[in-house]
Structure 1
Amino acid sequence: MIGVFVTFRCGDDFDELAVRKIAETARAKFEGMPELRSKAFTVNSGKREATNFYIWESEDAAKAFFTDELLDRVTGLYGVRPSLEFVQIAALVENVRE
């Protein structure tokens, strides 16, 4: 498994409500996405950042997803180009209750 941190450092024009709206609107697009195990949309008002964290089944799937086209599209949504950090998942605990 591979994790990807996608961080938007927004600066003085940070708008938490707008970031939350982007997350809520985009959420359905990721439900049931092949190879995507989970995704969390986060917001940190103190740092004026939004970070989306993905867990992919494979590094190939993660790298195929993050195209230049996708990065351009999310840059338009958030108003700033994100940084990407790929990390290995050493262990994962899931406490999902149905």
Structure 2
Amino acid sequence: MLFTQVRFNLDTPISLVEATAIFESTAPKYKGHPGLLLKHYFRSEDGKTVGGLYFWESREAAEATYAGPWREMVEKKYGAEPQIEFFESPVHVDNRTPGA
């Protein structure tokens, strides 16, 4: 499995309440998104970093998203350029599902 970590380093920290409102406003855009399996949003405890972990079917699906109008939308939303890193995840543990 492939995942990406997308981070935004903010000039001004945001609260958990502010971050949650932003995340909730963008989450519907990812429902049914081609090639996206799962997304988790995150905020650092100091509120200076926010972002998401995206789990993809393929690198091509991720790159197609990041090359399109997505970049303009997120830069406008967070006021910062995204830092995108790609990772392979060959093994996972999911304690929510018996036997996984």
Both proteins in one fold, TM over 0.5: yes
Change (3 A) 1:87 1:21: same
Q: Which structure 1 segments of 5+ residues have no match?
A: none
TM-score of the pair, normalised by structure 2 = 0.83
Task: Give the Cα separation in 1 of the matches to 2:47 and 2:24.
Answer: 21
Change (3 A) 1:84 1:55: same
The question of whether the paired residues in 2 share the 8 Å contact of 1:2 and 1:62 is answered with: no
Task: Give the Cα separation in 2 of the matches to 1:3 and 1:70.
Answer: 17
Deviation at 1:22, TM superposition (A): 1.2
Aligned to 1:36: 36
TM-score of the pair, normalised by structure 1 = 0.84
CA RMSD of aligned residues (A): 1.9
Aligned to 2:8: 8
Report the 3-state secondary structure (helix = DSSP H, G, I; strand = E; otherwise coil) of the residue aligned with 1:60. helix
The question of whether the paired residues in 2 share the 8 Å contact of 1:19 and 1:78 is answered with: no
Change (3 A) 1:96 1:38: farther
Task: Give the Cα separation in 1 of the matches to 2:90 and 2:47.
Answer: 27
The question of whether the paired residues in 1 share the 8 Å contact of 2:14 and 2:47 is answered with: no
Deviation at 1:55, TM superposition (A): 0.3
Stretch of structure 1 that moved more, 66-75 or 33-42:
66-75
Identity %: 25
Deviation at 1:68, TM superposition (A): 5.3
Task: Give the Cα separation in 2 of the matches to 1:87 and 1:53.
Answer: 10
Stretch of structure 1 that moved more, 87-96 or 23-32:
87-96
